[in-house]
Structure 1
Amino acid sequence: MRLDGLWIGQVAMAALTNVAFAFAIGSALLDAWLAKEGARALVAPSHPAWLRAQRSLIAAAIVLVLADVGWLVYQAASMSGSGLLDALGVVPTVIAQTHVGRAWCVAFGGAALLLIAALLGRFGALGHALFWLAVIVAAAGKASIGHAADAGTWSAAAGIQTLHVLATGVWGGLVIAGGFGVLPALDSSIARGVLIRVAGQVSKVSLVALGFVVVTGALNAERGLGGALAPLQSSEWGHVLMLKAALVALAVVLGGMNRMSALPRLRRTASTVDAHTFNNVLHLEALVMIGVFIAAAALAHSAPGYLAAG
């Protein structure tokens, strides 16, 4: 791990793509659930929340495309040893002649397709299919850029990483999009019923996604550590991995508080206080989740633990 400007910029761009990708997925799911609640109607109490989900999806898709481009420039500068401006001339070579460039094309193609689907509104079965195809393509491209590709593009490691990217996108996306934008728009008493139902769906789907995150994350950690625990203490990669695990554990605790305490109280009372409690805890979980995505970006741009430990 080298703490120079190029590495920091590359990790920052990667973290931004992680957050934007998750934000888009979470916004799309919340948009679909709110639409089933009749939120598209202008007079519906939940209409402002649906508008936020729609706008968040488009904004996240735009940021994802731009961050992907920014990451490639930093990657070209890192590979060529040049400055950012000089790296612009190296970008075509990186795309045409390196595995990273080809994997980036897949990820960027998925991001661009995701943006198109978001702008078109994803109406009908074809629109939804296009959006989720874009999500899978973007996830596969992101997985192929990282350490999992060392085992081969079509390896089990790459497949596990793709599933990990998708699962973290669903879990983190629901938490971030819900906590920062959509669910606070359901704060009024007349939208309380919708908040309770959507919050229940967020909790249920997040729990399922978390199961996939834990399993695939454990497999990735085992591969990165080389099957030994020593690199956890002897490598910087291991230290970042422990930080990521601690942040995931904190997010799980906050999510558990909402699922086991705040949400049941909200269902019983439908009170403003309990609604605020649920949204505030979700907001804290969203902040922690951003830390998880930053740690994940740092891991992806550092030598795996088993290499750093020799």
Structure 2
Amino acid sequence: MNDDPLSLAQTAFAALADLAFACVLGALLLNVWLSREQAFATVSPARRGWLRAARGGPIAAIALVLCNFASLWLQAAAMSGAPIVQAGGALWLVATGTHAGIGWSVALAGSVLLLLASAGGGALSGTRIGMALVAALIVAAGKSAIGHAADAGAFSLAEAVQTLHLLATAAWGGIVIAGAFVLPALDTSLARAYLIRTVARMSRAASVAVAFVVLTGVFNAWRGIGGSAAVLTASAWGHALIVKMLLVAAALAFGALNRWSALPRLSRSASTMDAHTVINVMRVEALMMAGVFVAAAVLSHSVPGSSLAG
């Protein structure tokens, strides 16, 4: 990763895009789960939580569209050598004639589709859920074609694994981050049962996502280090990977604390104190996941250890 302003801007917008992508997926999942509880009904005690999820999804999707467009613009500036404010002249050529530009264009198209799926209002229909799933896959596939996995070639195993890694990480992070925003609206005595059932669903879904994150992450890390663990301490890429792994481990620890300790206590007691504990632990886990997305952006804009190792 370079320390010039353009490179820093690219890394920053990549991190923001990853965060926004996660928030969209998390908000959509919470919308689906709360809709199953009929939380969209005016008289439902969980309506405030459903409204947060329903409104948060489109807002995050708009942020994702803007970040992906900004990243495409910055890519045009980097490839054309033009100043950032004058990169518009090269935008179309980069977007349609370069591998990285096409990748960003695909991700941008997917983010627009995701915005359309999340902005329909009301409970999510089967059609909108299907559209959101396709859109999420398009976004992840576009992003995987931009990073180091693209070195293995288009439609390669490395790109497929990276696509799955991006989807799983976004789902896990989105569940946690969106949950930290939505769950406080369910923190009332009347909505306590909704809170317990929703957190249980979140925990199960996050566990599945984590399994895929770990499996695909191990593959990506092994491919990145090129069989030499020495690059972990000898390169900026390795340092970023270590930071990411530590943040993932911390997020896993807080998630396990909620799943195996705080949530069972809440299920037994349904007390306000235990509800606060679950929500506060999730907030800390959300901070860890935000850090994971930043570290991932740094990784994607750094020279991989395998290249440095020769």
Instruction: Give TM class, smaller chain.
Output: over 0.9
Q: Which residue of 2 aligns with 1:195?
A: 195
Q: Is the 8 A contact 1:103 1:141 kept in 2?
A: yes
Aligned to 2:271: 271
> What does 1:115-154 correspond to in 2, within 5 Å?
115-121=115-121, 123-154=124-155
Long gaps (5+) in structure 1: none
How many Å apart are 1:27 and its aligned residue?
0.5
* Uncovered stretches (5+) of structure 2, i.e. residues with no partner: none
- Residue 219 of structure 2 corresponds to 219
Give secondary structure in 2 for the equivalent of 1:189: coil
Taking structure 1 as the reference length, what is the TM-score of the superposition?
A: 0.97
* Cα pair 2:71 2:104 within 8 Å, conserved: no
Map of 2:69 onto structure 1: 69
Task: State the alpha-carbon separation in 1 of the partners of residues 127 and 35 from structure 2.
Answer: 17
Distance 1:196 1:230 in 2: 45
Quick check: 2:228–2:309 contact (8 Å CA) kept in 1?
Answer: no
Task: Give the counterpart letter for 2:36 in structure 1.
Answer: K
Q: How far apart are the structure 2 equivalents of 1:234 and 1:29?
A: 40
Counterpart Cα distance in 2 of 1:64 and 1:107: 9
Q: Is the 8 A contact 2:65 2:112 kept in 1?
A: yes
Q: What letter corresponds to residue 16 of structure 1 in structure 2?
A: L
Q: Give the superposed CA RMSD.
A: 1.1
Matched residues, percent identical?
51
> Aligned-pair distance for 1:95?
1.0
Tell which deviates more after alignment, 126-135 or 21-30: 126-135
Aligned to 1:229, the other structure's residue is in SS state coil
CA shift, 1:210, in A, is 0.3
Query: Deviations 1:233-276 (Å, cap 9, x if unpaired)?
Result: 11110010000000000000111111111101101110000000
How many pairs were matched up?
A: 309
Q: Does the aligned pair in 1 maintain the 2:23–2:60 contact within 8 Å?
A: yes
Q: How far off its partner does 1:96 sit? A: 2.2
Deviation of 1:77 after TM superposition, in Å, equals 1.8
SS of match in other structure, 2:89: coil
- 1:50-199 superposed matches below 5 A: 50-121=50-121, 123-179=124-180, 181-199=181-199
TM (norm. structure 2) is 0.97
| Preserved contact between residue 234 and residue 309 of structure 1 (Cα < 8 Å) | no
Off by >4 Å, runs of 4+ in structure 1: none
C-alpha distance in structure 2 between counterparts of 1:299 and 1:70, whole Å: 19
**CA deviation map 1:17-37 (0-9, x unaligned):** 100001000100100000111
Shift of 1:154: 0.8
Deviation at 1:123, TM superposition (A): 3.9
1:48 corresponds in structure 2 to: 48
Aligned runs of 1:19-38 on 2, under 5 Å?
19-38=19-38
C-alpha contact 1:235 1:309 (8 A) present in aligned 2: no
